[in-house]
């Protein structure tokens, strides 16, 4: 069964130290991909852009700097649960976003209620077994018909 958690958060898109603007960002978590979260950025004048990365990275990044490669997440102030910076990079290009931490934490809490952290593997295995069973049923129906 495909279930999901969704939220919309307003984030600041940090163009430079002097320029930023607020944009809506859709957060999505689906049981069909239990290890990942998806953030869809709605930039004015552009098509929406979706990034998928590990749910655990977002959880960890709210409290401490983390991430390697294309995605880095860190609290603005490690002493206070206030704001979080999300840096996305492709080659030499990067985009920085600032979000209030409480909406991210609320979203992550909802994902944990759907699939508790550490239980993703059991769900992934269940989906794989379900897909195999459905493939067998379809193959049997086609050979019988």
In this predicted model, what pLDDT tens digit does every residue of 35-60 receive, in sequence order? 999 999 998 888 999 999 999 999 99
Percent of the chain with pLDDT over 70: 90
- Say which residues have a Cβ less than 8 Å from residue 1's Cβ, sequence separation at least 6: 31
Pick the CATH number of 4-144 from 2.40.30.10, 3.40.50.2300, 2.30.31.20, 3.50.30.60: 2.30.31.20
Q: What is the pTM of this model?
A: 0.80
| Closest C-alpha to 109, from 38, 48, 70, 59 | 59
Question: Between residues 51 and 126, which one has the greater pLDDT?
Answer: 51
What per-residue confidence (pLDDT) applies to 145? 64
Residue 29 has pLDDT above 90, yes or no: yes
Residue 1 has pLDDT above 60, yes or no: no
Determine the Cα–Cα distance for residues 5 and 58; give it in Å rounded to an integer.
Answer: 15
Please calculate the CA angle 101-41-6 and round it to the nearest 5 degrees. Answer: 60
Determine the Cα–Cα distance for residues 27 and 5; give it in Å rounded to an integer.
Answer: 8
Residue 8 has pLDDT above 90, yes or no: yes
Residue 130 has pLDDT above 70, yes or no: no
Are 71 and 85 spatial neighbours (Cβ–Cβ below 8 Å)? no
Provide the residue ranges of all domains of the chain, joining segments of one domain with +. Answer: 4-144
- Say which residues have a Cβ less than 8 Å from residue 12's Cβ, sequence separation at least 6: 20, 21, 22, 23, 97, 98, 99
| Closest C-alpha to 77, from 65, 59, 90, 92 | 65
Q: For 83-102, how does the pLDDT look when each residue is reduced to its tens digit (9 = 90+)?
A: 999 999 988 889 999 999 99
| Closest C-alpha to 14, from 129, 97, 137, 126 | 97
């Amino acid at each position: 069964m495909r279930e999901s958690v969704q939220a919309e958060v307003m984030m600041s898109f940090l163009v430079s130290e002097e320029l930023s603007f607020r944009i809506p960002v859709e957060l999505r978590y689906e049981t069909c991909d239990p290890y990942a979260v998806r953030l869809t950025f709605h930039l004015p004048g552009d098509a929406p852009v979706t990034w998928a990365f590990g749910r655990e990275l977002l959880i960890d990044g709210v409290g401490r700097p983390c991430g390697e490669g294309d995605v880095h997440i860190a609290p603005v102030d490690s002493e206070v649960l206030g704001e979080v910076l999300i840096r996305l990079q492709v080659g030499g290009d990067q985009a920085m976003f600032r979000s209030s931490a409480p909406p991210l934490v609320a979203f992550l809490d909802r994902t944990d209620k759907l699939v508790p952290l550490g239980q993703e593997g059991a769900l992934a295995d269940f989906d794989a077994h379900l897909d195999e069973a459905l493939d067998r049923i379809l193959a049997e129906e086609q050979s019988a018909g």
